[in-house]
Amino acid sequence: MMPSNGTRSLLWGLSEVEEKMGWRQSLQGADVPMGRTIYLNEPLRNAFCENSISTAKYSMWSFLPRYLYLQFSKTANAFFLFITILQQIPDVSPTGKYTTLVPLLVILVISGIKEIVEDYKRHMADKLVNSKNTIVLRQNAWQMILWKEVNVGDIVKATNGQFLPADMVLISSSEPQATCFVATSNLDGETNLKIRQALSETATMKTEKQLSNLSGKIKCEEPNFHFNSFAGTLYLNEKSPISIGPDQVLLRGTQLKNTEWILGIVVYTGFETKFMQNAVKSPLKRSKVEKVTNMQILVLFLLLLVMSLVSCVGAIYWKDRYRAEPWYIGKSDYDYHSFGFDLLVFIILYHNLIPISLLVTLEIVKYIQALFINWDEDMHFKGSNVYAMARTSNLNEELGQVEYLFSDKTGTLTCNVMTFKKCSIAGITYGDLSSKSDDGAKGLSQSPCFISDAYEFNDPALLQNFENDHPTKEYIKEFLTLLCVCHTVVPEREGNNISYQASSPDEAALVKGAKKLGFVFTTRMPNSVTIEAMGEELTFEILNVLEFSSNRKRMSIIVRTPEGQLRLYCKGADSVIYERLSENSLFVEETLVHLENFAKEGLRTLCVAYIDLTEIEYEQWLVMYKKAITVVKDRMKTLEDCYDSIEKKFLLLGATAIEDRLQARVPETITSLLKANIKIWVLTGDKQETAINIAYSCKLLSGQMPRIQLNANSLEATQQVISQNCQDLGALLGKENDLALIIDGKTLKYALHVEVRKCFLNLALSCRTVLCCRLSPLQKAEIVDVVKKQVKAITLAIGDGANDVGMIQTAHVGVGISGNEGMLATNNSDYAIAQIFTSLPPFTLGIFERCCSQESLLRYPQLYRISQTGDIFNIKVLWIQCINAIVHSFILFWLPAKMLEHDMVLQSGYTTDYLFLGNFIYTYVVVTVCLKAGLETMSWNKFTHFAIWGSIMIWLGFFAVYSSLWPTVPVAPEMTGQGSMALVCPHFWLGFFIVPIVCLIQNVAWKSIRNTCHRTLLEEVREMESSGVQVLRRDSVQRSKVEEVNLQRSASPRPCQVIFRNNSVDLGAPHGYAFSQVERAVISQEELVRSYDTTKNKPQKTFSSATLE
């Protein structure tokens, strides 16, 4: 029975309330419109998608048709197939049947082998994921199976630290109140853990017998890509229907944390899971060079047709003129059938205008370049012995033309490891020594996220002040006590060691930092916490927890101290703490200066303060609090108002500074990329404050840079604020300025609307730095696609999580990082980081050519712009070279022809003929092509010398041998004796030197003039290398034209001197506030902390573990 429209509206309204209020209401008896039914413990009735996934391009059956389609979609291959077919027609081809067929087969075989090898690697990567182990309940017993064998309806058991194999509904867990913690950074980029809670009706189901007897069904919605929504109903036999929401759902790709074990019923598998639903269709990527080449091959084909038509007309004219000549010259009549026949003959004759040998060479070169990437020791991470892997070689040239780089934050720029780095207590800053010790710590490990004591808080002055009765001793004690008490962390003791489990990585870092300083959080009970302060055990009674929220930007806790004093501890953003400080609070200005310094370093800051309460104040507030928690309408707002009424007249203790540790050499890398004119956009699912802090750490943001922050709630508001900022920029719009644009996911949804998109893009392109926060995976892909299509620039996307797959696949070049967030990004990335005599020089050039040394390229990132701008290869360059080739062809033909215009008698009595002339010309072509390749070479090495001079020698040797084979070998009888005639002829050797020189003299002159009069930074650097100079002369750099351009572009963007007329622009100093914490979860923070008693052992597993571990 389908529900009525009124029921639907009611349910949608309820779901919105649940989402906004953060708590779940039971829909007892209410049926919900669902898309699928899952039967519990009835596997034969659950026929859904299998759980294996594939990121490969081909299967065993699809390889041949799909591969051939992809190959013949290339214009060149289609053309050569056409020529091959023509050559099979009897009496049409003036060449052999196999002259094009064999090279084409070589291309297809080489490309096919390359595709098979690359796709085999994808299959192996997929196999690693699909072959992971998990535990399911089957036939009334726990069994270990592979991920790919998991089915919808299975009851799965996962343990702490494991990634979940499918989307499942939580049944029960090892934790109090059937809760569990999951890390979702792989999906949404957020660093804090999420809380999920099982239904009370299933929370006690833990044994095999209970689970095997579970009978009923789950009705739920069809698979979709919304991470934060789920609508379902659990029907247990003889019980009322129970509503299931997103707080009961665990998603594939998330990692179980701080939870011993959980049990769940699988609802979606494989490509129907939510994070696979967020993946975009893997596109067929082609490089810009390939696209240009394909188009120009079409133009060359049209030119070939024109040449063939002109030749046909010439043939008609010739036959008409000489039709009265002897019979063996031609027919006396001519028909249109002969015209078509001649057209095909000339097309075959001229088809070498499109060089098939070059295509063979390029395929081999690209593949070997990919191998070089795989073997590169500079991209070898020795910590896990992982090398870079080129998962495709078709996009190698794109790596040199990137203009926009889109980067994830969590796991890509950062290690997702928080450490307590610095603090300010009573106006004194501590922790400066840690930054000085970083240099010494760099050599401790090759791991970019290696954490040692040198990376954590390291300043003995703090404890010295405490132990030596410094005037600030009591402030230090209260400061560290606050860090030990005001949080939601749970301690776990294993012998004498204490570890901390926390949903907030910031809180965990602060508690660990306090522990190192002698203030150890040891015990949490439902109504109290116990700490050891420098060996003294202190117990604080927990009265109330005033929860953190993004709106409040603070968290407070009301305790009764061991002395019986009522005290409120608070930590939060400086903006909210400072406005609530008492007039008697000290060290206000000093702490503010320290906060600004911390923020400029990219550290995550929090202010800490306290206030002592009287019994009367607390009792009055408690009455207000009890009333607020019973309010139905606007409960959260009422509670926040209640919290606010007691959070006042604080006494400031100081501030903390936490480092979200960056990957190795991230700031230096970003600086080099900016100098190379590569624009960097950070796309993250994490909070805006966190993204801003990381941008400061990475040097993407500077202290005085104006920050345009777009946070709007409607299309109209978004359009208005974007238009106003565009108007304020005026003539600077569209030019890169020293500005930062910061936008959240909700606003981006409106900014990419068709009416606003153009203005938003113009505004974004006017900023040096763009930060997009709280984005869904599809939004990441969408913004990459907008820049890719609208700006017409080469884009590169880099990430390490499942939420980055969309943008990795959408960008021209996708780079996946083998990080802490699984292998899905890596598996979907591109990088996880006939006429063959003259093919040797381009083959060698393609593999070994380089414009200058690696050291110079790293020292002068501006050199990247040479390839980025497309000046090396574009349509103009292609046709200049084509015109140059036409000039060469005239010289190569007419000089030898005129040289042999009058017949001569050779020493052996032979006279010259067309073969004799042809061998002259072909030899000069070989020499000219090799020398032209040498002229274009920038990096001369032993391979280059062998390729250029060796090609000439190989041809002369081949010519001599080939003309001597017949009749010993029945091959080429017409060539008999040609070598011995040509190689002893003085005319041959005279032309051997003169003809190539005449061809290339213009190229040498042009190159000399250009390098002398129009010197670029590249020429300056190359001259420096050749002369052995280590540092480029400053005046020399300033003279170069490219360097002048560099000074005008984004490496040093123009300071922004715009007067902004709206409040979306932050011109103040950075504050550094950032804090990750669960908000509005299924269970409140107070309920959570009161559910733990660490003096008791955790509930023992009630199911057999013999087959589990």
Neighbour-count burial for 78-105, b at 16+ CB within 10 Å, e otherwise: ebbbebbebbeeeeebeeeeebbbebbe
Nearest CA among 519, 506, 508, 933 for reference residue 693? 506
**DSSP state for residue 163 in the 8-state scheme:** B
Q: Count Cα atoms within 13 angstroms, Cβ side, for 966.
A: 11
Give the Cα separation of 867 and 641 in Å (integer). 59
Q: Which residues make Cβ contacts (< 8 Å) with residue 472, sequence separation at least 6?
A: 425, 426, 427, 428, 465
Longest dimension (CA), the chain: 129
Neighbour-count burial for 1037-1056, b at 16+ CB within 10 Å, e otherwise: beebebbeebeebbbebeeb
Give the Cα separation of 165 and 677 in Å (integer). 42
Candidate list 167, 408, 728, 804, residue with the active-site label = 408
Q: Which amino acid is at 1052?
A: S
Count Cβ atoms below 10 Å from residue 751 Cβ, excluding itself: 25
Give the Cα separation of 288 and 281 in Å (integer). 20
Give the Cα separation of 661 and 416 in Å (integer). 7
Length of the chain: 1109
DSSP 686-753: S-HHHHHHHHHHTTSS-TT--EEEE--SSHHHHHHHHHHHHHHHGGGTTS-EEEEEEEEHHHHHHHTS
Give the Cα separation of 116 and 123 in Å (integer). 10
Q: How far is the first Cα of the chain from the last one, in angstroms, to the nearest whole number? A: 45
| Number of helical H runs and strand E runs in the chain | 39, 32
The bridge status of strand 679-683 relative to strand 167-173 is: unpaired
Ramachandran quadrant class, 733 (left: phi over 0; alpha: psi -120 to 50; beta: rest): beta
What angle do the packed helices 75-87 and 336-350 form, to 10 degrees?
130
Q: Which residues make Cβ contacts (< 8 Å) with residue 1040, sequence separation at least 6?
A: 1015, 1016, 1017, 1019, 1020
Residue 439 annotated among the catalytic residues of the structure: no
Beta strands in 360-413 (DSSP E): 402-407
Upstream peptide bond of 967 is cis (omega within 30 degrees of 0) = yes
Give the Cα separation of 700 and 767 in Å (integer). 11
The bridge status of strand 767-773 relative to strand 679-683 is: parallel
What angle do the packed helices 688-697 and 588-600 form, to 10 degrees?
70
Q: Are 223 and 34 in contact (CB under 8 A)?
A: no
CA geometry: angle 109, 79, 922, nearest 5 deg: 85
H or E, element range at 184: none
The residue whose two tokens read 């070939």 is: 304
Ramachandran quadrant class, 1006 (left: phi over 0; alpha: psi -120 to 50; beta: rest): alpha
**DSSP state for residue 970 in the 8-state scheme:** -
Coil/strand/helix, residue 587: coil
Tokens of 1085: 């923070």
Q: Are 206 and 1102 in contact (CB under 8 A)?
A: yes
Q: Are 218 and 5 in contact (CB under 8 A)?
A: no
Kindly calculate the radius of gyration of the chain based on its CA atoms and give it in whole angstroms. Answer: 37
Catalytic residues: 408
